[in-house]
Amino acid sequence: MKILFWLVTALVLFVIVAPLAWIYLTAFKSPNDIFTTEARKLIFFKPTMENFNRLFREFPFWDNFVNTAIISVSSTVVVMVIASFAAYSFARWNTGKGHLLFTTISTRMFPGVVAAIPFFVMYRNLGLLDTRFGLALLHIYFNVSFATFLLYGFFKEIPVELEQAAMVDGYSRVDIFRKIVLPLVRPGLAVTAVFCLVWSWNEFLFSFLFTRVAARPVTVLISSFWGSIEVQYGPMAAGAAIVILPTLVAAWFMQRYIIRGLTFGAVKG
Amino acid sequence: MAEVRLENVVKMYGKKVAIRGVSFTCREGEFFSILGPTGAGKTTILKMIAGIEPVTSGNIYFNGKVVNDLPPQERNVSMAFETYNLYPHMTVYDNIAFPLRAPRWRLKLTPQEEKKRVEEIATFLGIEKLLDRLPQNLSGGQKQRVSLARALVRRAEVYLLDEPIAHLDAKLKFSTQTLLKEFAQRYGSTIIYVTHDFREALALSDRMVVLRRGRVEQEGTPEEIYYYPKTDFVGRLVGDPPMNLIDGELVSQNGAFFFRKGEDFTLLLEGALAEKANSAAQEENGRRVVRLGIRPEHIRLGGAKSSENAFRLPIYAVIHESESSVVTFRLKDNTFLYVRTIGFCKYGRGEEVWLEFDPQRMFFYRKTVEAAKEGSLER
């Protein structure tokens, strides 16, 4: 039993770690080492910063990286503000008697690409194509429904009696939200914010369709190394190695919150 | 301090009626209890007084002013919830201090004053050692006392206490009752106290109401409720063992009235008793049935026939309690008759003894609850 457990764990770990390892190894290899068939060179090679230098010199990597950061952080902030009020309202007053909540969630039920064409036409007419604002708006649109749905569950977990007790204790609605509800829902907020941030950070489809140069996020830049004539593995791996770092850090940092958040309410305190 | 008056208060949840027109007055500075079995609507009434639940119709008055539309923050009430409702992210200290810090009351206590108030009430209730803990690290009884402390820490117009000592162990229950009584007297507070335990209600209240399925069954002092129950429901809810409810037949012979309990016994009813029995009697299959109620301590046992109305029954069981004994008789229709005797009962099982009902303590009721049959635990 024990052996089986470790076997499965090792397998899962391998599946998760292998691509990451490949990216980080490749990022530090010279072109010759990347394409060599020598098995030994897979791990043992002379590390070089060549790929990073090329990436920074020949491509607008940092510009695109900043685009990604601005778009994902700003959209997440807006999403969290809208979604937490919306979710609280749905959870506490059943606003719209379920229909409104369903409508909100249903925007996530069709493939995003279905909405792409009407959005594209609209954006072209509004002049929002290839703007950070435009892309952030799209991310807000998609993340608000998801975040509302997730937060709805977290808010639902907070017993309404706690708020009633606080009302009797003399606190206003706003104070109750600030002093009772928010502290209790904090793990849920953290989980939701990280999910939104990571989703927006990694988002590719709409970024690819709605940006060209000025607002291009870094995911689109990395995909551009995959050309029709050759695949530039070096700069691609170097870019990926940097881009995934923040999400790894976020996941690491939020780990305890995510685990607590996902099992929130399983055992009532 | 305030007088609280309910006038024809009705509460509906959708189409379900929870409270069916309740009226009562809790006078200023009174310790007022609401007693009733589970589901009678006690908590609902309390929540309506607090302003947490809106009334469907009827009025709630504080000092003669309608407060129906006032939110809880504007009513200046304080409430201890049956479910405690402690704020899980705050320490015990912060939980108790929370009402003191509400901007609404404009107390503006300095940290030292606040500390003094919190420690005072915590010491009063014996939880001063728990102040640094989080609610999740407390036992049920400790949580209950914290929630009580949170309710009592602030000077409010009305204190609403929902089963505030139900989860304490027997000893603490007793000492906390004493504390509550002391608190009420020290501050002259108006307290509305909800409980399902008749002992608490009798012990603490100045006056009380008995609630049954959203209706007031009887309002009065504990003495009135115990010694003069208006209905069989009250008689059975209050008392342990509860009031004996004996279903029998009212028969008249030569102008005299008798209460006949099958083959077990027949009692001659004289004067006022006959009148009472007549007004409570109901036609059933051509017979006049009536329910006789008498408390276990109002039946005398003896070795010899003491009066015309005495009758003989064999003892079914004897239960010795600390300062009294409960003697059980089994009637032919499988109902039990309980008799409480002071001191140690000298009779044993199977012995035939004479029973005599105290005519001053006999009541006649219309049947509104099922009598407890053998083997049924329904109360």
* Partner-chain contact A165 B81, CB within 8 Å: yes
pLDDT in tens, chain A (269 residues): 789 999 999 999 999 999 999 999 999 988 888 887 777 777 788 888 989 998 999 899 999 999 999 999 999 999 999 999 999 999 988 888 889 888 888 888 888 788 888 999 999 999 999 999 999 999 999 899 999 999 998 899 888 999 999 999 999 999 999 999 999 888 888 889 988 999 999 999 999 999 988 889 999 999 888 887 888 888 899 999 999 999 888 888 777 776 665 555 444 43
Q: How close, in Å, is residue A123 to chain B by CA atoms?
A: 46
Q: Please tell me if residue A182 touches chain B, with a CB cutoff of 8 Å.
A: no
Residues of A in contact with B50 (CB under 8 A): 164, 168
All residues of chain B having their beta carbon less than 8 Å from the beta carbon of residue A180 are: 87
- Is some CB atom of chain B closer than 8 A to the CB atom of A183? yes
In chain B, % of residues over pLDDT 90 = 75
Q: Is A34 on the interface with B (CB under 8 A)?
A: no
Q: CA of B137, closest CA in chain A: separation in Å?
A: 9
Chain B residue with minimal CA distance to A164?
A: B52
pLDDT digits (tens, 9 = 90+) for B252-262: 988 899 999 98
**CA proximity to A165, closest of B79, B55, B142, B101:** B79
| Alpha-carbon gap: A179 to the closest alpha carbon of chain B (Å) | 10
Q: Is A163 helix (H, G, I), strand (E, B) or coil?
A: helix
The beta-carbon neighbor of B102 closest among A159, A171, A184 is A171
B85–A165: do the CB atoms touch at under 8 Å? yes
Minimal C-alpha gap between A181 and chain B (Å):
10
Chain A: residue whose CA lies nearest to B151: A169
Residue of A157, A161, A163, A168 for testing the chain B interface, max B β-carbons within 10 Å: A168
The CATH number given to A58-262 is: 1.10.3720.10
Q: Is B237 exposed, middle or buried (0-12, 13-18, 19+ CB in 10 A)?
A: buried
Chain B environment of A170 (Cβ under 8 Å)? 73, 76, 99, 102-105, 154
The reported pLDDT for the residue numbered B379 is 39
B83, B87, B150: residue with CB nearest A180: B87
CB contact under 8 A, B85 and A164: yes
**Contact with chain B for residue A94, Cβ under 8 A:** no
Q: Which residue among A168, A172, A269 sits closest to B79, beta carbon to beta carbon?
A: A168
- Contact with chain A for residue B366, Cβ under 8 A: no
Which pLDDT value is given to residue A268? 43
Q: Do A172 and B83 touch (CB under 8 A)?
A: no
- Alpha-helical runs (H) found in chain B: 42-50, 72-75, 92-101, 111-124, 140-152, 170-187, 198-204, 222-227, 232-237, 272-280
Across the interface, do B89 and A164 touch by the CB < 8 Å criterion? Answer: no
> Is the minimum CB–CB distance between B87 and chain A shorter than 8 Å?
yes
Verify whether the Cβ–Cβ distance A269 to B52 is below 8 Å. Answer: no
Helix (H, G, I), strand (E, B) or coil at B342: strand
Establish whether this prediction's ipTM goes over 0.90.
Answer: no
Q: Beta partners for B311?
A: B355
B129 inside 8 A of chain A by CB? no
Number of Cβ pairs < 8 A linking chain A and chain B: 62
B168 and chain A in contact, CB less than 8 A: no
- Contact at CB, B102 and A164, closer than 8 angstroms: no
What is the reported pLDDT for B204?
93
Measured between alpha carbons, how far is A91 from A104 in angstroms, rounded to an integer?
A: 14
- Going by pLDDT thresholds of 50, 70 and 90, the confidence category of residue B10 is very high
Greater model confidence, B240 or B27:
B27
In chain B, % of residues over pLDDT 70? 98
Angle at B157 between CA B153 and CA B159, to 5 degrees: 55
Provide the shortest C-alpha distance from residue A257 to chain B (in Å): 15
Just give the CATH number of B4-237: 3.40.50.300
B102 touches chain A (CB under 8 A): yes
Q: In one letter, which amino acid is A56?
A: F
A230 compared with B99, residue with greater pLDDT:
B99
Which residue of chain B comes nearest to A166, CA vs CA? B99
**Which of B86, B89, B134 to probe the A interface (max A CBs under 10 A)?**
B89
Distance to chain B for A192, nearest Cα, Å: 20
Chain B contact present for A165, CB below 8 A: yes
| Alpha-carbon span A90 to A148, nearest angstrom | 9
The yes-or-no answer to whether B4-237 and B244-365 have a common fold is no
**Could you read off the pLDDT of B303-328 as tens digits, one per residue?**
888 888 899 999 999 998 888 999 99
Residue with tokens 């990073």: A52
Considering CB atoms only, which of B77, B83, B89 is closest to A168?
Answer: B77
Range list of H helices, chain A: 2-27, 31-35, 50-58, 61-93, 99-106, 112-126, 132-157, 160-168, 173-176, 182-202, 205-210, 218-224, 233-262
Cβ of B85 and A162 within 8 Å? yes
Q: Is residue B349 a contact partner of residue B317, using CB atoms and an 8 Å limit?
A: yes
**Cα angle B211-B216-B218, degrees, rounded to a multiple of 5:** 90
Domains of chain B, by residue range, sit at 4-237, 244-365
Average pLDDT over chain B, rounded to whole? Answer: 91
Dist. CA B312–CA A58, nearest whole Å: 113
- Rounded CA gap, B41 and B152, in Å? 24
Instruction: Please list every residue in chain A whose beta carbon sits closer than 8 Å to the beta carbon of residue B136.
Output: 269
Mean pLDDT over B188-205 rounds to: 94
Fold of B244-365: OB fold (Dihydrolipoamide Acetyltransferase, E2P) (2.40.50)
Other residues' Cβ atoms within 10 Å of the Cβ of residue B128: 16
Nearest to B105 among A165, A170, A180 (CB): A170
